[in-house]
């Protein structure tokens, strides 16, 4: 365990011991209290929504507060490519190329394939799995830009989420702004619609879930708090933007053995600027993962 993680866990234990939150012995009350303790120890603002795909039960913290997507929008973008292909509105097997001018930081696949190009399906996969920034921008231009992404959310019933800009500006979302944001409740339900609902037919839906399961960028976030033997898939986002507080995002689904999946959307906005990814900030979302596991096992009616 890292010193940062030990420090964070000690802080949560101290806050819990000091009874800083009201006592509510019901399961929703107990889990909400745990989330409030995590937030109080975190040095920032926590946004959480858990959504049970079987019962429709949900709970969380700051569920209607807006947070920036950062790179987490790429999950919906990958799903949109699969959906448009399914509907015959776009050919995901179409091969395209791009210029060196379109490359930017964190564009490993598109830099490697600069001369060769790739299919739209390959770009969707790398946008989800490795968060390739150039791939996301190339795909956005194929599907109507940020406006097209926003319209897709509206078409599937998400009236809250919006995308306004391309990478990397999408990461510049100060607290209180609406551009390039969603809420925990809206995004948890969007994950459920796309990964487990009927927006996509069986084959593309299974492919999307596999891409999420193969994504490794969230290994130290929500997944780190889950018990062994669970399956999960997610998409992360991180903003370390100059003059703004850092933000960490993890959205996805978890499934305990012999249980139905639970979808989640988690956001942590630090009170401070950071010079790089903070293990202590990622540990905040790992602690949320433990609360999510309790919800998934015990349910909230």
- Write out the catalytic residue numbers: 71, 167
Q: How many CA atoms lie within 13 A of 97 on its CB side?
A: 6
Long-range contacts of 18-27 (CB under 8 A, 24+ apart): 27/298, 27/299, 27/300
- Report in angstroms the alpha-carbon separations of 177 from 62, 162, 203: 16, 12, 37
Whole-number Å distance between alpha carbons of 161 and 79 = 15
Q: DSSP strand E in 67-138: where?
A: 67-68, 95-96, 118-119
Whole-number Å distance between alpha carbons of 215 and 126 = 9
Whole-number Å distance between alpha carbons of 228 and 93 = 37
Whole-number Å distance between alpha carbons of 150 and 158 = 9
Whole-number Å distance between alpha carbons of 122 and 109 = 9
Whole-number Å distance between alpha carbons of 194 and 196 = 6
């Amino acid at each position: 365990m890292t010193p940062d993680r030990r420090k964070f866990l000690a802080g949560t234990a101290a806050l819990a011991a000091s009874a800083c939150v009201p006592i509510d012995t019901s399961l929703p009350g107990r889990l909400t209290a745990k989330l409030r303790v995590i937030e109080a120890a975190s040095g920032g603002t926590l946004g959480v929504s858990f959504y049970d795909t079987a019962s429709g039960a949900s709970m969380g913290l700051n569920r209607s507060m807006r947070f920036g997507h950062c790179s987490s929008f790429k999950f919906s973008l990958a799903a949109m490519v699969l959906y448009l292909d399914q509907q015959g509105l776009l050919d995901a097997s179409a091969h395209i190329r791009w210029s060196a001018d379109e490359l930017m930081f964190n564009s490993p696949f598109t830099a490697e394939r600069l001369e060769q190009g790739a299919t739209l399906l390959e770009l969707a996969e790398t946008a989800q799995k490795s968060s390739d920034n150039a791939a996301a921008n190339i795909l956005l231009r194929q599907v109507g830009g940020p406006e097209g992404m926003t319209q897709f959310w509206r078409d599937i019933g998400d009236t809250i989420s919006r995308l306004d800009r391309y990478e990397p500006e999408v990461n510049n979302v100060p607290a209180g702004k609406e551009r390039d944001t969603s809420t925990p409740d809206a995004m948890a339900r969007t994950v459920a619609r796309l990964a487990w609902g009927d927006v996509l037919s069986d084959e593309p839906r299974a492919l999307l879930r596999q891409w999420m399961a193969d994504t490794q960028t969230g290994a130290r976030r929500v997944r780190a708090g889950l018990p062994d033997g669970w399956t999960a898939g997610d998409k992360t986002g991180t903003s370390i933007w100059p003059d703004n507080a850092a933000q960490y995002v993890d959205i996805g689904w978890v499934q305990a053995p012999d249980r139905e999946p639970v979808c989640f959307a988690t956001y942590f906005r630090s009170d401070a600027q950071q010079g790089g990814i903070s293990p202590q900030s990622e540990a905040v979302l790992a602690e949320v993962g433990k609360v999510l596991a309790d919800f998934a096992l015990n349910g909230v009616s």
